[in-house]
Amino acid sequence: MAQESRAELVAAEDVLLFVNAAVTATGQREFRSAAGEQRLSLAFLHAYVRVNYRRVYAAVLALDINDHNAALIVRHLLENAGEASAEDKRTEGRLIAARLAVLPPQRVYRLLRALRTAKVNNRRTRAIFRDWLAARPDPAFDAVKYRAGLKSAARHAHVPCADAELGGFLFRPGRRARYEHPLLDAHRRAHYEQAALYELPFTVAEGFAARHGVARRVFLERIAPRTTRLERLRIQAQPGAPAADLTTMPLTRLALFVLSLGLDERTARRAELTGALRAAALRAAGPHARTWGRVTAVLDDSYSSAGSGHKRRRPLAVALACHFLLEALAGAGLFRGRWTSGGTDALLVRPRGATPLGACLLDALGDAPDRLVVVSDGWDNAPPGLAGEVLRVWRTRLDPERRTRVVHMNPVYDADGFDVRRLDASTPTAGIRDAEDLPALVEIAEFAEGRTDLAALYTYLDGRTAAFTGGIQ
């Protein structure tokens, strides 16, 4: 019995470790590890979990993991289909279809190219991608914006092109004098007519504008009606760019935008930016708003929160977004945010200094909150190890009844440890990439406190799988 319990403990810890990696790791350089180390560490985890816990490996598609790992899981499941039973394949098929439906189309096309390179072209794979292509809302739009990807997908999945005009656009370009579909014809005319490029998607029109030598300011002003809200946010600082409606932006992306502004501009636009962040936080909180009681957050704005060239200011943006989300989740007037730098103005945070998590935790626990949420990469270095000792003493001596629920959210994957870095063994820890996922990730992190019950973990994953796949047959 003891041996079985030990095996269950190891299995559940393996699964939760993989979930943390799938949420945070993207194979890109982090502050303390290179891209190669990240990719190697992630490749090992994917192989290990797929071989030993294939059922769980597939079920992770139903969780709030990032797109990079979702695409890797789909690829590995399809590449190694021989490992699965017929029933497992049916479940995996539903999970893959549901995940592909929410992945950005460019990532799905990239995934299909990778499968083609790996010579994965069985009937199951073709059927999955045929269904995905059939569900695309506007094939002509995909043909213009993702032309190479759609051509490769149609060939690889053996999809017959029922629309002769679309087939001609993809496989016999330049043969037609005109197209009936306005978008296809605009793409044809844009080769020699400047006005036509303003009828195209923004990213396609950019290339034609450069070819025609159109001034950037003029191009941005005229293409404004064709830009998406995220494109407007991305080009906001460029002369002539259309103003972005910040009140509709996702919380973490909005936090990244705020941190891209200088301190003087943030100060000048304080009311606008703060209002947008609070509105986004309330949307993200949803039904959980004002239900968490007294909440204190320890938020890491140390120098390492600057991230890397690939993830510039990402850890700090997650902390800033969590500040406003936790404010929305707490009872009215019952939130307090404590930044490791000692700063009190969330809007003006910037990466600086060491990480005195231990001292911040002492102050935060003194607030006697119902919930204490730590958002940090876990590198407690002023002095090293104090945070873990504070939490150990608090749990064993001062709060054995666990009146204060403590959870650690870590936005940075530790390639050497194959997990996110923890403050101590007794504190529930989960990886986080987008602050919007915080309520669900807190549930997973707190669930980890009971990780000896592998059956309960499977039940939880089965429930998430059923909810995620919905009516997919």
Task: Classify residue 104: in a domain, yes or no.
Answer: no
Whether 216 and 312 share a structural domain: no
The pLDDT of residue 156:
81
Residue where one domain finishes, among candidates 206, 226, 244: 244
Whether 272 and 405 share a structural domain: yes
Residue where one domain finishes, among candidates 204, 225, 244: 244
The pLDDT of residue 132:
93
Domain extent for 222: 190-244
pTM: 0.90
pLDDT at 172 over 90: no
Whether 224 and 302 share a structural domain: no
Say how many residues make up the chain.
473
Task: Classify residue 231: in a domain, yes or no.
Answer: yes
pLDDT at 4 over 90: no
The angle formed by the CA atoms of residues 396, 397 and 402, to the nearest 5 degrees, is: 60
Task: Classify residue 59: in a domain, yes or no.
Answer: no
Q: Which H/E stretch holds residue 299? A: strand 295-299
Cα–Cα distances (Å) from 3 to 7, 10, 159, 452, in that order, read: 6, 11, 52, 12
Average model confidence (pLDDT) across the chain = 90
Whether 255 and 233 share a structural domain: no
Whether 354 and 237 share a structural domain: no
Number of domains present in the structure of the chain: 2
Whether 385 and 296 share a structural domain: yes
Whether 306 and 443 share a structural domain: yes
Whether 216 and 331 share a structural domain: no
The pLDDT of residue 448:
65
Q: What is the pLDDT confidence band of residue 451, given thresholds at 50, 70 and 90?
A: very low
Task: Classify residue 444: in a domain, yes or no.
Answer: yes
Task: Classify residue 402: in a domain, yes or no.
Answer: yes
Task: Classify residue 426: in a domain, yes or no.
Answer: yes
Whether 292 and 206 share a structural domain: no
Pairing assessment for the beta strands 413-414 and 335-339 based on DSSP bridges = unpaired
Whether 341 and 276 share a structural domain: yes
Percentage of residues in the chain with pLDDT exceeding 70?
Answer: 96
Q: What is the pLDDT confidence band of residue 174, given thresholds at 50, 70 and 90?
A: confident
List the CATH number of the domain containing 301. Answer: 3.40.50.410
Residue where one domain finishes, among candidates 244, 264, 286: 244
pLDDT at 434 over 80: yes
Task: Classify residue 305: in a domain, yes or no.
Answer: yes
pLDDT at 450 over 60: no
The pLDDT of residue 444:
79
Q: What is the DSSP string of 236-291?
A: TTSTTPPPP-GGGS-HHHHHHHHHHS-HHHHHHTHHHHHHHHHHHHHHHHGGGTT-
Task: Classify residue 326: in a domain, yes or no.
Answer: yes
Whether 355 and 411 share a structural domain: yes
Whether 216 and 236 share a structural domain: yes
Q: Give the C-alpha separation, 85 to 64, whole Å.
A: 26
Q: Are 230 and 248 in contact (CB under 8 A)?
A: no
The pLDDT of residue 456:
76
